[in-house]
Chains A and B, each alone.
Chain A
Amino acid sequence: MSHGYHGCYLRIDVTTGFATRVPLADATLRQFLGGSGLGVRLLLDEGAVDVDPLAPEAPLVFAFSPLVGSPLTTSAKFAVVSKSPLTDRINDSLASSGFAVAGKRCGCDALMIVGRAAELSVLIVEQDGNEEEARVRLVPAAAYRGATCQETESGLRAELGPQYRVASIGPAGEQLVRYATISHDGRHAGRGGSGAVLGSKNIKAIAVRGSRRVEWARPQELTALSRDLSKRSFGPATAKYRELGTATNLLTFNRFNALPTRNFQSGTFEEAVNLSPEQLTATRSKTRESCVTCTIGCEHIYSVSPAKAGLHGGVRLQADKADGVRVEYESLFALGSLCGIGDPDVVLRASRRCDELGLDTISAGGTIAFAMECVDRGWLDEPWLRFGSGDALLRAIELIGARKGVGRVLAEGSRRAAAAIGHDSISIAPQVKGLEIPGYEPRALQTMALGFAVGPRGADHNRSGAYEVDFSDKVDRRNITLDAVQHAIETEDKAALMDSLIVCKFLRGVFEDFYGEAAVMLRAVTGWDATADELRETARRIVAAKRRFNLLAGWTPAEDTLPERFLNTPLPDDPAASLSRNRLNELVAEYHRQRGA
């Protein structure tokens, strides 16, 4: 067995409560590493492509990685991999912190959950001392029914003990909202509805505790590498995350007509400055936090003006808590400019409520903004649901989380909602393969547009970092040529490797030669004679495995596109930002040619 691994995964059937330790061959681990790569491979081996993602037999994988537990900065991460109930395609979403370390110490490289518990339950996985195998038990979770993610996690840790690490779903996951998240320590495996998959198994939370450590192949070298990487992580490449967080470029995107506004009807928002981290920092108190093992500290937590309990847009809301709100760019855009809302207190409150309910803020904001435009066009008879109305945003979030009223259809995501609403509303539904588009206007950032179109899990900024290319002199971002395709592929490959090793993408600017340095790290951890070229091949293999999953699940080339809105209308505030269907088709065809499809 290789260093850095336990050489097995734990397959847990929550119908029976029985767990099986399944060996993992060294060759499999070397080919797929961990995280997203290993998770996809396990899903393919399990035959997950044909199943309904919310059926009991659908597997849900929590995949750790060879670097988890090492002193390398940002390595405490795990991937949650399944077939998405939102897209019916592959879904891999990542989250950070202690759950990854504690989960791996249970003596396995991944947890695979299948089946459906007879009642709402907490799955507990624990390992003590020299026990070879972890013990698994299910305990009733009726007391946590309807509890928020935070209430569930803190309640279980108080009940079980602080050494347990907990990943949980909120009310949205229990209600099978198709973009429900799995939350841990305030962070979320956010995209694609993994929370609904866990909810469909009647599992409210997973609590892990273990003591089984792996050996490192070259511990002294690993320590030196870790020190060096931590030192570099304090440099200018990560300054933006430390100083302003992921929202650093909000005003930049607005300046470049790339800040999606009012359901992508515009690329500039007149109230953008109110939502900017510069303004938030200047007008309210702020603290900063980090994930376990992270030296960057990208999490900026802002105070929010308290609101009294009462009726907001017809929904009774609780009084605000005094604690702060963790804010990301994607939440500010999706719940702010995309819904036409410039009141930062409303956006912060909405973001916090999504976190509590366990809702992906991008899909929640995207679906609500889509519904607001449908109301504007007279396609949806919910006159209260208007752009710019904070009460409407907060009310819609509550209804989605409870699957009540219009929330029943909005809980399905914008693609399914469009099918229910009709009127060709699919042309303005902001999604690719069913996954709502993140905060990058495709017409203004066209390499990113290609990345969205071909992304195996749908429109996604974490699996394709092509916006980096658009913000460089490599391409003309508003009029890209086929030369951009290679750049888009490079960012996709790099993301696949980072998500499988796993290291945080916020380190990407720190590496001068990412593949070379990744090979050195992997050698120190595993003892393999890994090379940069091998890891480039590994990255391509992982992307290919995701595409293979989709192909087997029914993918057709027609899915690799963008909504009609982006292909027949130039960006109103920047007519030079125009992308035709023919042009996108050429780019997608060239992408597949270069991928060898």
Chain B
Amino acid sequence: MYVEFLGVPRQRAGVAEMVVEARTLGQLLVTLSHQLPALSEVIVGDRLQPSFTANLNGDEFISDPGTPLRADDCVLILSADAGG
């Protein structure tokens, strides 16, 4: 599946997007933390640190590590909030 980074996660990851294989959100996050150690402040175990959030295909926001993912999904990793 595609993973798209936005905001601070993109700054940390150093890339805007990448392709990762995972069956659940938790697996995805663990894989990302191994492949991109710079995300250590963003990912804690199989969850996102509370200041960050994940979104599935631009639709629903997801947080449960057990959330199933499909190969054609796009998961967005972004800062949880930012105002002006």
Contact = CB atoms under 8 A, between A and B. Distances in A.
Interface range on chain A: under 10, 10 to 19, 20 to 34, or 35 or more?
A: 20 to 34
A462 B83 contact: yes
Contacts of B8: 239-240, 243-244, 248
A439 B63 CA distance: 26
A236 B42 contact: yes
Nearest to A257: B58
Contacts of A505: 83
Contacts of B53: 471-472
A528 interface: no
B32 interface: no
A18 interface: no
B41 interface: yes
Nearest to B6: A252
Among A243, A252, A468, residue most surrounded by chain B Cβ atoms (within 10 Å): A252
Nearest to B54: A473
Residue of B7, B50, B60, B61 ringed by the most chain A CB atoms within 10 A: B7
Interface string A436-478: 0011000000000000000000000110010110011100100
Contacts of B51: 236-237, 239-240, 509
B49 interface: yes
Given A236-B42, A236-B49, A473-B62, A251 B83 contact: no
A439 B84 contact: yes
Nearest to B80: A471
B81 A509 contact: yes
Contacts of B50: 237, 509
A246 B81 contact: no
Contacts of B24: none
Interface in A238-260: 239-241, 243-244, 246-249, 251-252, 255-256
Nearest to B11: A243
A465 B42 CA distance: 23
Interface string B38-53: 0001100000011111
Given A236-B41, A473-B63, A465 B83 contact: yes
A355 interface: no
Contacts of A240: 7-8, 51, 79, 82
Contact of A239 (B6, B10, B41, B81): B41
B29 interface: no
B7 A471 contact: no
Contacts of A472: 53, 61, 80
B60 A465 contact: no
Contact of A471 (B4, B49, B81): B81
A244 B84 contact: no
A152 B76 CA distance: 46
Interface string A492-507: 0000000000000100
Contacts of B78: 249, 252, 471
A461 B61 CA distance: 21
A417 B76 CA distance: 40
Interface in A275-318: 278
A356 interface: no
Contact of A329 (B62, B80, B82): B82
A373 interface: no
Interface hub of B6, B53, B61, B80 (most chain A Cβ within 10 A): B6
Contacts of A153: none
B83 A246 contact: yes
B79 A468 contact: no
B81 A255 contact: no
B79 A252 contact: yes
B83 A252 contact: no
B47 to A, nearest CB: 13
A241 B80 CA distance: 12
A331 B83 CA distance: 12
B65 to A, nearest CB: 13
Given A471-B53, A509-B50, A251 B7 contact: yes
Contacts of A243: 8, 11
24 contacts: A236-B41, A243-B11, A244-B8, A246-B82, A246-B83, A247-B82, A249-B7, A249-B82, A252-B82, A278-B10, A278-B11, A328-B84, A329-B84, A438-B84, A439-B84, A465-B83, A467-B81, A468-B81, A471-B80, A471-B81, A472-B53, A473-B60, A473-B61, A476-B60
The 8 closest A-B pairs by CB, nearest first: A329-B84, A330-B84, A249-B82, A248-B82, A246-B84, A473-B61, A468-B81, A252-B6
Interface of A: 236-237, 239-241, 243-244, 246-249, 251-252, 255-256, 278, 328-331, 333, 438-439, 461-462, 465, 467-468, 471-473, 476, 505, 509
Given A247-B84, A333-B84, A509-B80, 10 more contacts: A237-B51, A240-B82, A255-B4, A255-B58, A467-B81, A471-B78, A473-B62, A473-B63, A476-B60, A509-B51
